[in-house]
Amino acid sequence: MQDRRKKSSSVCLLVIFFAGCVILSHEAASAQEPGISQESIVSQEPGISRESGISQELGSFPESVTAREPAASDGQDTKADGQDIKAFDAPQAFDTPTTGERRSLRRIRRKDDGFSLSVAGSEGKNQGTDRGAFDLRLGGSLQIDYHYYQEGFREDNRFDIRRASLFLSGFLDQYTFYRLEYELQGNDAKNLVEGYGEWGFIHQQFLRIGQFKEPFSLEWQTGDSALFFIERSMGYYLGPQRDVGLMLSGSFFREIIRYSAGLFNGDGKDGSTRGSRNDQLEQCYRLLIRPFRAVHWPWLSSFQIGGSYNVAEIDLSNVDLEVKSSGMFGTNRNLFVLNQNTKFGILQNVKRRERWALDAGWALGPVALQGEYLSLTYEDLESSGGLVQDADFFSWYTSVLIFLTGERPVFKGGVLQPVTPERAWGGLCLAIREDHFFGDKDWIKEGAFVSIEKADASSIALNWIINPMLRLMVDYTYTDFSDPIRVRVNPDGKVDYIDDENVISTRFHISF
């Protein structure tokens, strides 16, 4: 009975939250002053522009579909906070001399950020509607890496296709957006990575349903083309990934406040291992505030703070934490492993999983700063020995970007955006990051040498952005381990361990 009451209370709170956001948005829209244009560039996979009616990177805060400004014509640039954004051709139509009837016109264009097909339909009886109008965009990403380790006995030096994916996205009408992405090679190989539909209503409010990124963590919302390190921070492994569910998101008060709230299965992508009992739906919330947006202080107008919260009652199959350093991705090595093989024996039960994160971002001129603190707790883990206690994990990072060639990074839609170089030969960006992870020592199995209590990492990366679709990266990361990690057992019985990691990584990145 108590569990049912908890579930009912959670659902009621979520419904109240949704209703409150819609009411606030409607009031904000009514009070909106005429002539104030809204931001139109948001978080996105490589090359997706909201100016063209294409939605953003999953899980971030979308922009209005119905209230967007008319797209620029060929060769025209639209400006947003000091950065030039090239717009796609909008669907166009023409009147015939005889009937004046609006007819469809198909336009295929190749821009710096991919290929787009737009088809305008005939005008409906209701003003502002197009019957049969749609647009389609084809895009993709290819990342080829090489990793070199100073620890020669690791035998992990290798080339790797980190990612190879294709996606289709576009609008079915002025209210309905869709996106499908398939991973061809890499960590998510041969999987549907993203597949969802999104509907816009009222004023800058959107409902999304399908498989996409959960709205958690500033770094997780950021698209690959706006990441300037080879890998995300160690805190990435503490947060939720993509999942199947629905999400309401939007903004109000002239973009000062953005929100996302959703319900998800809580066990990852469609087709993931399910538990032996019915789990409660996972709740995920994110709130972003730009407190100085309406103040005419250029040095503070881009500052933003955000918070995320994620909670669910889970099954033992969902206790599968694996945390990796920058040089461990794609290998069988980990900084911390929490699964059935624990210090206290096989796990018997778990109550729930709770995550939260706080983040901040700021950009001025050629410099951008970003930082985040993340927490993950598995509550009431019970082992076969009868011990019941929580497992707690924490991580934080700070990073700074310096564009040596003068480009100006911007935060749009709550996340850092890709940068277009200002020079014909491209742009250079220097990125520096401090990254720290803390594991729960009470769940480390002594003598296994597969988990550590703490890891401290320092990274420095140089990015050569040749053009918006092509980038070369070189990244050096040093990670210090609090405890040794076993690498291998030699034929003679000798065991090799490492207590730090020095890795130089290079990446050839194509996005279109």
Handedness of CA 287, 291, 297, 299 (dihedral sign): negative
Describe the chain by its helix, strand, coil percentages, rounded to 5: 10, 50, 40
* pLDDT for position 121: 55
- Mean of all residue pLDDT scores within the chain: 78
Percent of the chain clearing pLDDT 90 (strictly above): 52
Where residue 235 falls (left for φ over 0; alpha for ψ -120 to 50; beta otherwise) is alpha
List pLDDT tens digits, range 279-318. Answer: 689 999 999 999 998 888 888 999 999 999 999 999 888 8
Inform me whether the pLDDT recorded for 395 exceeds 80: yes
Inform me whether the pLDDT recorded for 480 exceeds 90: yes
- Whole-number Å distance between alpha carbons of 434 and 460: 9
Q: What six digits make up the tokens of 340?
A: 């059935």
Average pLDDT, integer, range 221-245? 96
For residue 171, the Cα-to-chain-centroid distance in whole angstroms is 21
* pLDDT for position 201: 85
Place of tokens 């609006």: 102
pLDDT band at 408 (very low <50, low <70, confident <90, very high): very high
Q: 3-state DSSP call for residue 361?
A: strand
Burial 462-475 (b: 16+ CB within 10 A, else e): ebbbeebbebebeb
Inform me whether the pLDDT recorded for 18 exceeds 50: no
In Å, how far are 108, 121, 238, 401, 463 from 435, measured between CA atoms? 44, 51, 13, 15, 19
* pLDDT for position 507: 98
* pLDDT for position 341: 55
Inform me whether the pLDDT recorded for 168 exceeds 70: yes
Q: Do residues 372 and 436 touch, judged by C-beta distance below 8 A?
A: no
pLDDT band at 151 (very low <50, low <70, confident <90, very high): confident
